[in-house]
Structures are given as structure tokens and as C-alpha cells.
């Protein structure tokens, strides 16, 4: 029995079964793709750890952070493309869907050219903000200057994953993710250790992996969507009215991504102020929370695809039912995650670290593992629903409130409870995000449903 089976009226059971099948068909491949991502970071750390000094580990970590700063803000290429293409799919307007694909790919190419042009000043600014030893800086710079040439492939893959998802296909993105991550691990290992290229080998392995993923994505596009190739027109992609809407949505999603970056980078920077042990605690706890997020994100991605599709179809009944089912699943995952954390918290902590001082310091913050799934699941599910509805203004505004809640909570509580204030602040931003999107849903989600019904 699925978690939603007990809460659906008998008259809707048949339709709910169909929608639930579609949710799982989209969510499960997304979850499988997501859980392969940490393997790359673990492999890079393991490889750099065999290169002879701590500077190599630090250099790869710093170099990866540089790309987090660059790419996180550009994740709108995926989210903006998925919602719009899902709506085009719902309308059976595949010519429009292909225009969106072309527009998104051209934008990805343009942004990657900008990244290549600013690589040197960006690196210089990064090391001004993040000072480190001369050896680590030299190695990190070497890593960055090689890996940056993967930008055209990396950004194109954002667009491709979003478009595939909008076209109700999450198998393609899963295959692409597995190919990228597998090639990354093996190429980095071979080049860094067997060919003795060191940090440069790890970076080059990532470049090879990204372009392998891009080649794989084109092959998959041909397999799944070649019947639409005759609808492709580069000239039609320059529809200025559509481009205006496309850029407006993506501008809002860019600001949303920037707000998320402010919270997560701020979390780490504030944790570092308390000392190395506290920073280690923050890093470990966040890694454990990310395990849960891969599962909830799978259902959020399903929400993007299906909500966009039903809006495109103007199918208000299915849209209402889909939203209800998504929330049943997110609450179910929250409950299961909490049970897992309660039962296995100490075991998971000991897998990540064997340092007794760090393990002891984690104990005061373990209860956050128990409550955070409930606090966050509503926000993450709304994210997928709003992205599918292309309600980008509401998403942006909700994140503005979330940033304010995070920093205000920290400033107000820090003098009284110290490091615990950071976790209260993180929880506060999720609560603010959930409340804001629940409020905005009346107009941007349910308002659109009522309009479709009329």
C-alpha cells in the first residue's frame, strides 16, 4: 500500500493510481541519479588523499568550491527549462518545446563563454576572499584553470536535463548522470595516479566526464526525440516575445539560486567562526541531511514535470490530485527519514569520522537530524510545484524572506545560544520558505487551477 492510498476518495482512486505511477516513474530515476553524485566527491577526496600531502586535498576542495560558486547560480538553466518545456508538452506543442531547447542551449553556450572570459579575474578574486597557503593556492589554481574548460558541457547539461524532465523523461537524465559520474571517477583515478598527473589529472578527468555526458545526451536525444527533428528551426528560436518571457523567468530563478547560495555559503562561513571542530560538525551534519534531500528532490523533480504538464493541458482535476499525492509522498519520506536518523544516527556519524572530539561535539546537534526532514519537506515539495508552474516571481520572493529569516535568526540568537543559533537559523529559513510558498500558492498555483476550471 502506498502512503497516499488511505487518503484518496474512492471516486478518484483510478486516476490517482495513474498519476502515482507517473510520479514514481519520474521520481525513482531522479533519486538513483542523485545518489551517485556524492560518489564523485568521495572519489576526488580519496584520489587527492593519495597524492602525498594535505595541500592536494585542500586544493581539490577549494577548486570544487570555486565551481560551486560559478555553477550554483546558473542552475536556473535546468529549472527554467523544465517548467516551460513541461507546459509545452502538456499543450502537445512540440515545436515550442524545441524552441525552448534551442533557447536554453544557446543561453548555456553564451554563459559558458562569459565564464571562460572571466576565469582569471574570478580566480584572483576568489583567493582574495579565501586566502590559503601558497602551495594550496597554486594547486587549486591549476585545478580550476583546467576544469573551467568543461563549462560549455557542464552548462549545456543543465539545460538538457531540464528539457528531458519537462518532456516527462527522467531516464535520460539518470543515464547521463551515471555516465558523467562513472567516467569522472575512472578518468580522474587513471590520470591522477596511473599517469601521475596529480591534481591536474583530477581536473582533466572531470573535463572528459562532462564532454562524455554531453555526447551521451545527444545520443539519448536522438533515441527518444528524433521524431521531432523536423520541427527544429534556429530562426524560430529567436522569437523575441518568447525570449522576453524566458529571460524574465530565468532572471527570477537566478536570484532565487543566489539566495540559496547566500544561505548555504553563509552557513559554512558562520560555522567557521566558531572553530575547526564546529565547522567539522556543521559539514558532517549537512552531509547527513543531504542524504535525505536526494529522496525528496526526486519527488520535487516529478512535481516539476507533472505540474507543468497538467497546467499545459489545463487539466485542473489532475493538477489538484497530483499536488495532493506529492505532499503525501513528501510527508511519508519525512517520516521514514526521521526513523532512519533516530535508529542509525551514531552509525552514520562513525562512518563519516572516527575523531572522538568531533563525534562528541556532534551529539548536541543530532536532534536536528530528527526534526529537519519535517521542517524541510514542505518547502522542497513546493519548490518542484512552483517550478513546474513557472511561478518564478513567487519562488524569488519566498527566498528573499528565507534569507532574511536565516540571518535575522542568527543575529538575534547567537549572543544567547552560540553555535546552536546557526541551526535555529537554518530551520527558520526553511519554515519561512514553506510559509511563504504556502501563502503564494493561493494565487500562483490554486488560482491557476480555478482559472483552468472556469
Q: What is the pLDDT of residues 347-394, one digit of tens each?
A: 988 887 777 888 898 899 999 999 999 899 999 999 999 999 999 999
110 and 211 both lie in a single domain: yes
Per residue in 138-176, pLDDT (tens digit) is 998 999 999 999 999 999 999 999 999 999 999 999 999
Q: Is the pLDDT of residue 5 over 60?
A: no
Considering the domain boundaries, does residue 29 fall inside one?
no
Confidence at residue 36, expressed as pLDDT on a 0 to 100 scale:
80
User: What is the Cβ-side half-sphere exposure of residue 17, based on CA atoms within 13 angstroms?
Assistant: 5
279 and 317 both lie in a single domain: yes
400: containing domain: 1-24+249-454
80 and 223 both lie in a single domain: yes
12 and 47 both lie in a single domain: no
Q: Is the pLDDT of residue 241 over 90?
A: no
60 and 104 both lie in a single domain: yes
What pTM value is reported for the model?
0.93
Helix, strand, coil % in the chain, rounded to nearest 5: 90, 0, 10
Q: Is the pLDDT of residue 410 over 80?
A: yes
204 and 276 both lie in a single domain: no
CB contact at 8 A, 160 and 179: no
Give CA separation, 450 vs 312, 446, 453, in Å: 14, 6, 5
187 and 259 both lie in a single domain: no
Give one word for 196, left, alpha or beta, with left for phi > 0 and alpha for psi -120 to 50.
left
Considering the domain boundaries, does residue 153 fall inside one?
yes
220 and 307 both lie in a single domain: no
Confidence at residue 4, expressed as pLDDT on a 0 to 100 scale:
53
Boundary-marking domain end, from 211, 238, 265? 238
Identify the residue with better confidence: 322 or 135.
Answer: 322
Per residue in 293-317, pLDDT (tens digit) is 889 999 999 999 999 999 999 999 9
How far apart are the C-alpha atoms of 310 and 302, rounded to whole Å?
12
Q: Which residue has the cell 587549486?
A: 140
Q: Is the pLDDT of residue 454 over 70?
A: no
Confidence at residue 124, expressed as pLDDT on a 0 to 100 scale:
92
Per residue in 416-433, pLDDT (tens digit) is 999 999 999 999 999 999
Confidence at residue 395, expressed as pLDDT on a 0 to 100 scale:
97
Boundary-marking domain end, from 187, 216, 238? 238
Query: How many structural domains does the chain have?
Result: 2
Q: Is the pLDDT of residue 130 over 90?
A: no
Confidence at residue 24, expressed as pLDDT on a 0 to 100 scale:
96
CB contact at 8 A, 372 and 428: no
Confidence at residue 452, expressed as pLDDT on a 0 to 100 scale:
65
Considering the domain boundaries, does residue 381 fall inside one?
yes
200-216 mean pLDDT:
96
Q: Is the pLDDT of residue 450 over 70?
A: yes
16 and 42 both lie in a single domain: no
Q: Which residue has the cell 558541457?
A: 153
Considering the domain boundaries, does residue 290 fall inside one?
yes
* 14 phi/psi in degrees, rounded to 5: -65, -45
CB contact at 8 A, 63 and 143: yes
Percentage above 90 pLDDT, the chain:
67
Q: Which residue has the cell 595541500?
A: 55
Per residue in 7-63, pLDDT (tens digit) is 677 778 889 999 999 999 999 999 999 888 777 776 777 788 788 777 787 888 888
Would you give the end-to-end CA distance of the chain in angstroms? Answer: 35
CB contact at 8 A, 437 and 381: no
The secondary element (H helix, E strand) that includes residue 342 is: helix 316-352
Considering the domain boundaries, does residue 243 fall inside one?
no
Q: Which residue has the cell 515550442?
A: 96
How far apart are the C-alpha atoms of 252 and 79, rounded to whole Å?
11
Q: How confident is the model at residue 330 (pLDDT cuts 50, 70, 90)?
A: very high
Q: Which of 41-50, 227-236, 276-285 has the lowest mean pLDDT?
A: 41-50
318 and 417 both lie in a single domain: yes
Considering the domain boundaries, does residue 244 fall inside one?
no
Considering the domain boundaries, does residue 424 fall inside one?
yes
Considering the domain boundaries, does residue 391 fall inside one?
yes
Boundary-marking domain end, from 238, 261, 277? 238
184: Cβ contacts below 8 Å, ≥ 6 apart: 40, 43, 205, 206, 208, 209
Q: Is the pLDDT of residue 211 over 90?
A: yes
134 and 218 both lie in a single domain: yes
Per residue in 98-115, pLDDT (tens digit) is 999 999 999 999 999 999
Residues in the chain: 454
210 and 258 both lie in a single domain: no
CB contact at 8 A, 145 and 119: yes
Quote the mean pLDDT of the chain.
91
- The string over 169-185, giving b where at least 16 C-beta atoms fall within 10 Å of a residue's C-beta and e elsewhere, is bbbbbbbbbbbbbbbbb
Confidence at residue 6, expressed as pLDDT on a 0 to 100 scale:
55
Amino acid at each position: 500500500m502506498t502512503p497516499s492510498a488511505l487518503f484518496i476518495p474512492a471516486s478518484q482512486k483510478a486516476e490517482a493510481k495513474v498519476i502515482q505511477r507517473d510520479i514514481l516513474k519520474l521520481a525513482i530515476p531522479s533519486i538513483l541519479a542523485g545518489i551517485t553524485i556524492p560518489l564523485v566527491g568521495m572519489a576526488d577526496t580519496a584520489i587527492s588523499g593519495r597524492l602525498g600531502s594535505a595541500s592536494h586535498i585542500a586544493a581539490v576542495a577549494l577548486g570544487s568550491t570555486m565551481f560551486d560558486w560559478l555553477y550554483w547560480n546558473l542552475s536556473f538553466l535546468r529549472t527554467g527549462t523544465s517548467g516551460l518545456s513541461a507546459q509545452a508538452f502538456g499543450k502537445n506543442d512540440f515545436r515550442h518545446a524545441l524552441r525552448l531547447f534551442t533557447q536554453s542551449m544557446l543561453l548555456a553556450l553564451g554563459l559558458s563563454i562569459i565564464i571562460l572570459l572571466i576565469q582569471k579575474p574570478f580566480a584572483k578574486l576568489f583567493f582574495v576572499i579565501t586566502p590559503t597557503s601558497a602551495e594550496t593556492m597554486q594547486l587549486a589554481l591549476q585545478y580550476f584553470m583546467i576544469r573551467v574548460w568543461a563549462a560549455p558541457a557542464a552548462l549545456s547539461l543543465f539545460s538538457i536535463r531540464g528539457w528531458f524532465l519537462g518532456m516527462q523523461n527522467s531516464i535520460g537524465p539518470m543515464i547521463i548522470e551515471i555516465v558523467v559520474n562513472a567516467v569522472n571517477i575512472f578518468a580522474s583515478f587513471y590520470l591522477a595516479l596511473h599517469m601521475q598527473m596529480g591534481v591536474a589529472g583530477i581536473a582533466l578527468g572531470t573535463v572528459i566526464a562532462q564532454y562524455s555526458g554531453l555526447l551521451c545526451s545527444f545520443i539519448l536525444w536522438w533515441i527518444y526525440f528524433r521524431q521531432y527533428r523536423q520541427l527544429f528551426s534556429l530562426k524560430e528560436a529567436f522569437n523575441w516575445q518568447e525570449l522576453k518571457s524566458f529571460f524574465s523567468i530565468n532572471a527570477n530563478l537566478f536570484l532565487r539560486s543566489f539566495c540559496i547560495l547566500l544561505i548555504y555559503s553563509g552557513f559554512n562561513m558562520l560555522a567557521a567562526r566558531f572553530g575547526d571542530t564546529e565547522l567539522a560538525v556543521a559539514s558532517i551534519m549537512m552531509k547527513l541531511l543531504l542524504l535525505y534531500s536526494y529522496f525528496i528532490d526526486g519527488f520535487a523533480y516529478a512535481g516539476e514535470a507533472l505540474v507543468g504538464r497538467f497546467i499545459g493541458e489545463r487539466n485542473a482535476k489532475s493538477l489538484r490530485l497530483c499536488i495532493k499525492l506529492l505532499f503525501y509522498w513528501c510527508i511519508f519520506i519525512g517520516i521514514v527519514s526521521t526513523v532512519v536518523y533516530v535508529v542509525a544516527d551514531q552509525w552514520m556519524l562513525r562512518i563519516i569520522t572516527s575523531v572522538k572530539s568531533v563525534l562528541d561535539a556532534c551529539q548536541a546537534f543530532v536532534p536536528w537530524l530528527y526534526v529537519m526532514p519535517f521542517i524541510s519537506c514542505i518547502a522542497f515539495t513546493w519548490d518542484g510545484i512552483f517550478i513546474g508552474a513557472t511561478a518564478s516571481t513567487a519562488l524569488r520572493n519566498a527566498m528573499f524572506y528565507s534569507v532574511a529569516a536565516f540571518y535575522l535568526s542568527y543575529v538575534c540568537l547567537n549572543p544567547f545560544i552560540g553555535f546552536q543559533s546557526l541551526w535555529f537559523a537554518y530551520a527558520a529559513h526553511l519554515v519561512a520558505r514553506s510559509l511563504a510558498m504556502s501563502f503564494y500558492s493561493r494565487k500562483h498555483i490554486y488560482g491557476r487551477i480555478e482559472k483552468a476550471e472556469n
